[in-house]
């Protein structure tokens, strides 16, 4: 049987998907155990108990200086920045994508500008943002927005502009104005695509968040990772990275589910 | 009968390619005009002109004596072969949309009594095209025939002066196509419609139309085939409206098309 025809059942797929992850975990444990056998004080590949100890200090013991439980303040600070950045970028992508996608003159006028901004590496703009907006929260949120909004706008614009011409014509023969076409024909159809764009933007958004926090911050997941790096505290870094991965997966899953629930017509056979 | 739609010396050119040349046409109110012709003879171009999707390079098109603006409007309804319904709306929402646009410029949504009235009107129209049981289905849940019925209902609810059909049944199975012929014939009579239909099915053109137009190139330059456009080479009046026979296949099929039991 050809490999292209080898479809797997659900249970088999779960097992197959778990194998490489488990293999990697085992590989790590074996390597960590080897290093610890040679040098019990090894910090590069900490064993799970060391990670648990490292993390529990941040989880359950208040920081003597600030009185905060650092793991949680880091998490909330990062999620607040990420959430604000994502919300602003999503909103601007929706508005700009609709206007640019539906109205050809606006697309002709602003399209090149959006493309121009989109090709600038956002990290290169970080100094500009820090100078213009200061070192506070605004600059960090702005970096996320500047980083992810332009590609989202471009994606949504292209999608809206490529809605079948027949639909736009049909709407006009039903008496719809440009505005009505935008809000009743283009907007609802753009929503599932917007959620898709947010899912794809989550990765870059985390990159920009961690970068901004690494450079100028006093709290946040990225700040903590870069801070403890000085002490080779892999026992904190690894759990933090795993925590970030978990948060990202949960967000992605929630967005995918929301799209299925809210826009069943866009997900074919599922309704 | 006076002409509802008039085309005077209409040309369509793209650069130096001439698509349609010197079209002169009068379409009487209440007629069912079928347009046939080989691929690339400008059938759909002609339809797009009347629709307002494209403007003629030269010449004038007038509806009820007034020159048409180069833009689509609710006075001309259209059903395309595909994509003429909105995938994100149910059948009922798709049909109500036209009423909402007219009555609610800002939100394009109706509420309360106006909403119920619009829904009743739309439901009646959906029943007339045989979609009484499919009010709350999304287009993706419907067969091709049901989607075309929906597109027709959507268009008719706006009471257009002309209904334009661009190969509306081209993608349907033969059996369903026959059902659709009965339906469109019945709607044409009941609503006193004026219909222009582009088709590549000659039999369909002759069995439905009161008049058949054949488009083709009159002249052909083998060295520059794009320099001559197509025009109306045959204009066959078949029968006046009142003589339009029932479907050749008899009254039996007419019965089958009653709304509630359409097998699509």
If one counts the domains in chain A, the total is 2
Q: Per-residue pLDDT averaged across B50-76, rounded?
A: 89
| Dihedral pair phi/psi, residue A197, rounded to 5° | -65, -40
Residue A134 shares a structural domain with residue A242? yes
Question: A173 vs B158: CB contact, 8 Å cut-off?
Answer: yes
Top CATH class, B1-75+160-264: alpha beta
> What are the tens digits of pLDDT across the range B170-209?
888 888 888 889 999 999 988 889 999 999 889 899 989 9
| Sheet with B162-166, side-by-side order of all strands | B66-67, B58-63, B3-14, B17-28, B230-237, B211-217, B32-36, B195-198, B162-166, B76-79
Q: Write the pLDDT tens digit of every residue in A71-108.
A: 999 999 999 999 999 999 999 999 999 999 999 999 99
Candidates A174, A266, A271; nearest CB to B158: A174
Q: Are residues A119 and A71 in the same domain?
A: yes
Residue A48 lies in a domain: no
Which chain A residues are Cβ-neighbours of B105 within 8 angstroms? Answer: 177, 179-180
Do A66 and A16 sit in the same domain of this protein? no
**Chain B residue with Cα closest to A264:** B88
Residue A118 lies in a domain: yes
Chain A residues with CB under 8 Å of B118 CB are none
Show residues of chain B in contact with A184, CB under 8 Å: 97, 100-101, 108-109
Report the C-alpha gap between B13 and B16 in whole angstroms: 7
Q: Are residues A211 and A86 part of one domain?
A: yes
The answer, yes or no, to whether residue B245 has pLDDT greater than 60, is no
Residues A30 and A64 in one domain: no
A169 touches chain B (CB under 8 A): yes
Which CATH number belongs to the domain containing residue A224 in this structure? 1.10.3720.10
- Cβ distance A170 to B151 less than 8 Å, yes or no, reads yes
pLDDT band at B251 (very low <50, low <70, confident <90, very high): very low
Confidence tier at A270 by pLDDT (50, 70, 90): very low
Determine phi and psi for B212, rounding to 5 degrees. -120, 125
Residue A106 lies in a domain: yes
For residue B78, the chain A residues in CB contact (below 8 A) are 169-170, 173
Return the sign of the alpha-carbon dihedral for residues B33, B39, B40, B45. Answer: positive
Range of the domain at A23: 3-38
Q: Which ipTM did the prediction report?
A: 0.85
User: Residue A216: inside a domain, yes or no?
Assistant: yes
Question: Looking at residue B223, what is its pLDDT?
Answer: 87
Clarify whether residues A148 and A265 are in a common domain. yes
B256 pLDDT exceeds 50?
Answer: no
Q: Are residues A135 and A21 located together in one domain of the fold?
A: no
Return all residues near B204 (Cβ < 8 A) that are at least 6 apart: B34, B169, B177, B181
* Identity of the residue in B83, B97, B105 whose CB atom sits nearest the CB atom of A174: B97
What mean pLDDT value characterizes chain B?
Answer: 85
Give domain limits for chain B.
Answer: 1-75+160-264, 82-159
- Do A186 and A85 lie in a common domain? yes
- The answer to whether residues A33 and A137 belong to one domain is no
In a domain, A266, yes or no: yes
In this predicted model, which residue has the larger pLDDT, B176 or A157?
A157
A69 touches chain B (CB under 8 A): no
Q: Answer whether A184 touches B (CB < 8 Å).
A: yes
Nearest to A118 by CA among A154, A161, A92, A89: A154
HEC assignment per residue over chain B: CCEEEEEEEEEEEECCEEEEEEEEEEEECCCEEEEECCCCCCHHHHHHHHHCCCCCCEEEEEECCEECCCCCCCCEEEECCCCCCCCCCCHHHHHHHHHHHHHCCCCCCCCHHHHHHHHHHHHHHHHHCCCHHHCCCCHHHCCHHHHHHHHHHHHHCCCCCEEEEECCCCCCCHHHHHHHHHHHHHHHHHCCCCEEEECCCHHHHHHHCCEEEEEEECCCCCCCHHHCCEEEEEEEECCCHHHCCCCCCCHHHHHHCCHHHCCC
Q: Is A221 inside any structural domain? A: yes
In a mutational test of the A interface, the residue from B88, B141, B171 whose CB has the highest number of chain A CBs within 10 Å is B88
For residues A130 and A34, membership in a common domain is answered with no
Percent of chain A with pLDDT over 70: 99
Angle of CA points B85, B89, B94, to nearest 5°: 55
Could you tell me if A129 and A164 lie in one domain?
yes
Residues A7 and A58 in one domain: no
């Amino acid at each position: 049987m050809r490999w292209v025809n080898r479809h797997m059942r659900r249970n088999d797929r779960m097992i197959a998907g778990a194998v490489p992850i488990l293999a990697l975990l085992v590989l790590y444990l074996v390597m960590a155990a080897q290093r610890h056998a040679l040098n019990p004080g090894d910090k590069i590949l900490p064993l799970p108990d060391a990670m648990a100890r490292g993390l529990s200090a941040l989880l359950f013991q208040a920081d003597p200086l600030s009185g905060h439980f650092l793991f949680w303040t880091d998490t909330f600070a990062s999620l607040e920045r990420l959430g604000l950045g994502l919300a602003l970028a999503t909103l601007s992508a929706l508005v700009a994508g609709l206007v640019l996608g539906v109205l050809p003159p606006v697309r002709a006028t602003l399209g090149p500008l959006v493309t121009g901004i989109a090709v600038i590496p956002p990290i290169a703009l970080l100094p500009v943002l820090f100078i213009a907006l200061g070192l506070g929260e605004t600059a960090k949120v702005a970096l996320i927005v500047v980083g992810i909004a332009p590609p989202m706008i471009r994606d949504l614009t292209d999608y809206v502009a490529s809605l079948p011409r027949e639909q736009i014509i049909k709407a006009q023969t039903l008496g719809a104005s440009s505005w009505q076409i935008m809000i009743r024909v283009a907007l609802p159809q753009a929503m599932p695509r917007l959620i898709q764009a947010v899912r794809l933007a989550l990765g870059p958004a985390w990159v920009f968040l961690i970068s901004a926090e690494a450079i100028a911050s006093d709290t946040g997941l990225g700040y903590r990772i870069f801070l403890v790096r000085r002490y080779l505290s892999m026992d904190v870094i690894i759990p933090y990275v795993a925590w970030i991965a978990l948060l990202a997966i949960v967000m992605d899953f929630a967005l995918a589910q929301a799209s299925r629930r809210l826009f069943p017509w866009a997900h074919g056979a599922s309704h | 009968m006076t002409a509802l739609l008039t085309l005077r010396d209409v040309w369509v050119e793209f650069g130096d390619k001439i698509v349609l040349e010197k079209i002169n046409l009068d379409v009487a109110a209440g007629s069912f005009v079928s347009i046939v012709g080989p691929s690339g003879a400008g059938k759909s171009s002609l339809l797009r002109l009347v629709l307002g999707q494209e403007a003629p390079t030269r010449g004038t098109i007038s509806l009820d004596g007034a020159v048409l603006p180069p833009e689509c409007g609710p006075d001309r309804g259209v059903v395309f072969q595909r994509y003429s319904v909105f995938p994100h709306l149910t059948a009922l929402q798709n049909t109500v949309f036209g009423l909402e646009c007219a009555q609610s410029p800002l939100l394009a949504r109706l509420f309360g009594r106006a909403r119920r009235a619009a829904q009743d009107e739309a439901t009646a129209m959906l029943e007339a095209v045989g979609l009484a049981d499919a009010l709350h289905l999304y287009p993706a849940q419907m067969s091709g025939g049901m989607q075309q019925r929906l597109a027709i209902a959507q268009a008719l609810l706006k009471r257009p002066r002309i209904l334009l059909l661009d190969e509306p049944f081209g993608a349907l199975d033969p059996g369903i196509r026959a059902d659709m012929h009965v339906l469109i014939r019945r709607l044409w009579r009941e609503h006193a419609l004026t219909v222009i239909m582009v088709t590549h099915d000659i039999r369909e053109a002759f069995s439905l139309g009161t008049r058949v137009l054949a488009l083709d190139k009159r002249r052909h330059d083998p060295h520059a085939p794009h320099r001559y456009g197509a025009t109306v080479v045959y204009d066959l009046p078949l029968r006046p409206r009142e003589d339009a026979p029932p479907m050749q296949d008899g009254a039996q099929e007419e019965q089958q098309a009653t709304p509630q039991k359409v097998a699509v």
